[in-house]
Amino acid sequence: MAALRDQLYVAWSEVSAGNVAILITKSQNGGDTFNTIERLSNNPGESRSPDLTTSENQIYLVWDVSPGGIFFIRSVDGGITFGAATMMITNGSDPALAVSQNIA
């Protein structure tokens, strides 16, 4: 789970359409209600161990796939849309994210 002002983002893995997938949902009112669940992973194998963080209006998410590696995806519009998932590391597991603001 990650927060961005009064918006909450929750990502998890579960069996979806025959394999283990990464799903995400968003609340725009501090968790009172949540939007539709969106599937972010679309690869063979088991997608698991999602890690999610936010910075300004950007959402970043990593997860591992067995077999496969570590995938990364981001949204630059507050989770309205996400780019394509990209494999960052082959044969990795248990990914984690951290975001640092540039200080001028």
pLDDT digits (tens, 9 = 90+) for 68-102: 799 999 999 999 999 999 999 888 788 888 887 66
Q: What phi and psi, each to the nearest 5 degrees, are found at residue 29?
A: -135, 40
| Rounded Cα distance, 39 and 103, in Å | 34
pTM of the predicted model as reported, rounded to 2 decimal places: 0.87
Q: What is the pLDDT of residue 15?
A: 87
pLDDT band, residue 104 (cuts 50/70/90):
low
Residues 6+ apart with CB under 8 A from 99: 53, 54, 55, 60
- Does residue 34 carry a pLDDT above 70? yes
Average pLDDT, the chain: 89
Q: What percentage of the chain carries pLDDT values higher than 70?
A: 95
| Rounded Cα distance, 61 and 79, in Å | 11
Exposure class string for 38-76: b at 16+ Cβ within 10 A, else e: eebbebeebbbbbbbbbeeeebbbbbbbeebbbbbbbbe
